[in-house]
Amino acid sequence: MSVSIAAHLTRAVFMIQAEVADRLAAEPSTKTYGALTVFVRAQYIVHRVRSVSPGCFFPPPDVTSAVIELEPHAIAAETDAFRDVVRAAFATRRKTLRNAWAKILPTRAALEEAAIAAGISLDARGETLDVAAFARMALETERRLEAAPEA
């Protein structure tokens, strides 16, 4: 069992490229929302503190920077099932979850049952789910895998 680093922090402040800050702070159904967003926001609330222009550095870089603050707030444990459902959902962004998650459970019926129990439509795409939805699906996936007979 791994222990989250977030449990030992009160906050973390970083300066990163603005493009990465955009990804970390992205909302579902936006172009910048992806697996990185979900993994970080499963453990932290991301606050974009300020932008830092290239002119603030010498020599000036070709990118704009941003200061972000990460505030610990665990929504989901990063289990194998959580990693699997997030990675599969974003591996092929334009696929529906029905197709993207086809191999995370042994049968299509088990997948459908898990999605219903998690309150997720398999006709949706991964980029439309918030972190809590991924956490619910991971939990339902774990339950079905634990209950499945060994092959």
Say which CATH topology domain 5-72 has.
Answer: Rossmann fold (3.40.50)
pLDDT tens sequence across 75-105: 999 999 999 999 999 998 789 999 999 999 9
Thinking of the domain 80-147, which architecture would CATH place it in? Orthogonal Bundle (1.10)
Per domain, the residue ranges of the chain are 5-72, 80-147
- The pLDDT assigned to 1 comes to 46
38's tokens: 């979900």
Q: Which amino acid is at 47?
A: H
39-43, 74-78, 145-149: least confident range? 145-149
CB proximity list for 131: less than 8 A, separation 6 or greater? 38, 41, 42, 75, 76
